[in-house]
Amino acid sequence: MALGKLARNTHSDPAVCVAGVDGTPGGWAVIIKDPKKSVVKKFASIADLFHEHPKLRAVAIDIPIGLLDVYEPGGRTCDRVARSLLGRTRGSSVFPAPVRSALLAASWHQAYANSRAAGPQAKGISKQTFAIFPKIREVDALLQARPQLRNLTFEVHPEVCFAELGGRPMVHRKTSALGRLERRELLAAVFPDFDALEKNGREQRVPTEDTLDAAVACWSALRLVAGRGRSLTETTARDSTGLPMTIWV
């Protein structure tokens, strides 16, 4: 990864621009931040984000990137570490990333079978996981077709980011009123204009939960370009296509 280069250049570049991305109905919820402003935008595709903002220095996205070929109980190492870090309260929010053969399936039944066939201890996949396959495929296809974007695109998990920002896992679910308040209070220190961002998101039909997740992902992107971001795994494993299999925070 080119994090060292990013960190060295950040302080001399007043126009550094980063983005936090979360899946949302109909596309992607994105918070873009530069030194002057923060904005919420909804994009139909990730490719559109890079096309409209070619000077992005880091994109932190809540989607699995590197994928296993052979099933491992609990998923990738980074999935297991994230689950352990979040503990019993929020650990269930980290689902095992699918194996690559499951991603190729056109139906849930076939994806389930492919997953079960991917190793001696292999299990199937949930319908909830299968529902986000189009977004996993979209990001995977983009990074395969444009390998230059690999050094700019980082997998994150919002609940891990919130735990890092707050010093502990969140107590309440993000879909509850207390959970939204808990997360808003943390984000206020990073985005003093968060109320306006949230309103802007609603105008674009972005659910509040997706705006919250995109915002904390953007916080992680800021950490990455400043050289303060870290991987949950000591060594970054790569999948058979060369994509990293780790979660950043």
Q: CA of 167: how far to CAs of 86, 188, 189, in Å?
A: 11, 15, 14
Q: What is the pLDDT of residue 4?
A: 33
Mean pLDDT of the chain: 92
pLDDT tens for each residue of the chain, 249 residues long: 333 333 333 333 546 899 999 999 999 999 999 888 899 999 999 999 999 999 999 999 999 999 999 999 999 999 999 999 999 889 999 999 999 999 999 999 999 999 999 999 999 999 999 999 999 999 999 999 999 999 999 999 999 999 999 999 999 999 999 999 999 999 998 999 899 999 999 999 999 999 999 999 999 999 999 999 999 998 779 999 999 999 999
Q: What is the pLDDT of residue 236?
A: 77
- Tell me if 219 sits within 8 A of 187, measured CB to CB: yes
Condensed to tens digits (0 to 9), the pLDDT of residues 57-87 reads 999 999 999 999 999 999 999 999 999 999 9
In the chain, which residues fall in CATH 3.30.420?
Answer: 3-65+152-225
Q: What is the pLDDT of residue 225?
A: 96
Q: Tell me which residue of 91, 104, 100, 102 sits closest to 126, measured CA to CA.
A: 102
Q: What is the pTM of this model?
A: 0.92
For 13, other C-beta atoms within 10 Å of its C-beta total 13
Q: What is the pLDDT of residue 9?
A: 37
SS (H, E, C) the chain: CCHHHHHHHHCCCCCCEEEEEEEECCEEEEEEECCCCEEEEEECCHHHHHHHCCCEEEEEECCCCCCCCCCCCCCCHHHHHHHHHHHHHHHHHCCCCCCHHHHCCCCHHHHHHHHHCCCCCCCCCCHHHHHCHHHHHHHHHHHHHCHHHCCCEEEECHHHHHHHHHCCCCCCCCCCHHHHHHHHHHHCCCCCCHHHHHHHHHHCCCCHHHHHHHHHHHHHHHHHHCCCCCECCCCCEECCCCCEECCEC
The fold adopted by the segment(s) 3-65+152-225 is: Nucleotidyltransferase; domain 5 (3.30.420)
Return the bridge partners of 244, or none: 238
